[in-house]
Amino acid sequence: MPPFGWTSFTETWHDKPYPFISPSRPELSAAGKNVVVTGGGTGIGKATAIAFAQAGAASVAILGRRLDRLQTSASSITAAGPATRVLFETADTTKPASIAGALKSIVGQVGKIDIFVSNAGVLTSYGGVASYDVNELRRGFEVNVIGSLNAVQAFIPLAAPGATLFNISSSIAHLAPVAPVEDVFAYAVTKLASTRMFDFVAAENPELHVVNVQPGITDTEINANTDVKGVDEVELPGQFLVWLASSEARFLRGKLVWANWDAEELISRAEEIENSLLLRVVLNV
């Protein structure tokens, strides 16, 4: 069941992978696809890269600032999908030339990008509005908003026809400011800003399959120095993204979805979801 008294869009709530989103399902095959994941050296990014390798992607490329983490992650990805070509590039999404150069290098080796996961981000310090450090807020916008913008601008010219673009968002982007998330306004506003930015990316690029994803609460480095304890297995969002990239999930284009929601239940409501403002960040009046 959902933690913290949250409600779920689907009756079934998941905190671990389940057979319908398994990368081994033939319907979810990523064969022939080139996948790129920012922030792929650890946590959700690493788990996502592994899941796409398990789904048989032609190539999986991971980007990050720390070479040692990328090397370790690349070894794990190769072990999970020996037939997948694994690449890694050091890159800083806050620097346009850095992310653009990394993506051009990858495309030069494997071809255009079919699936791009914008995952790199930072959890800003906790604190209330009245006394918050403006430099810390600026850091949050630099990484979570400007960094995502740089990544998208570098990706779009290198995207394969009909490519997929995922933004790793957060529940904080749309939850009310109540316990246990009352002191995370800085993270909330940056993640909301990036989520809305990807809404516009979807509107401006109808040929792209763009989805915002709340990945769940996992034990990753981004949460290591907080009171937030992981309640979801990190493999859940990774495998959910594999399903989300498949033809079964095309009705979720332009939506914000939680990795915890049941994929089969979402499919059962596909027409309702696709033809309404459900799962969009809008004012409901």
Q: What does the CA dihedral 208, 214, 220, 226 come to, rounded to 10 degrees?
A: 140
Strand order across the beta sheet in which 113-118 lies:
85-90, 59-64, 34-38, 113-118, 159-168, 209-214, 256-258
Let me know if 187 is a catalytic residue: yes
Among residues 18, 187, 229, 255, the one annotated as catalytic is 187
**Rg (the chain; Cα; Å):** 18
Alpha carbon distance 209, 27 (integer Å): 17
Alpha carbon distance 50, 174 (integer Å): 29
Inter-CA distances, 281 with 121, 224, 275, Å: 20, 28, 15
Alpha carbon distance 233, 219 (integer Å): 8
User: Which residue from 198, 213, 209 is spatially nearest to 257, judged by alpha carbons?
Assistant: 213
Among residues 33, 104, 132, 191, the one annotated as catalytic is 191
What tokens appear for 166 in the block?
């995922």
Tell me the catalytic residues. Answer: 187, 191
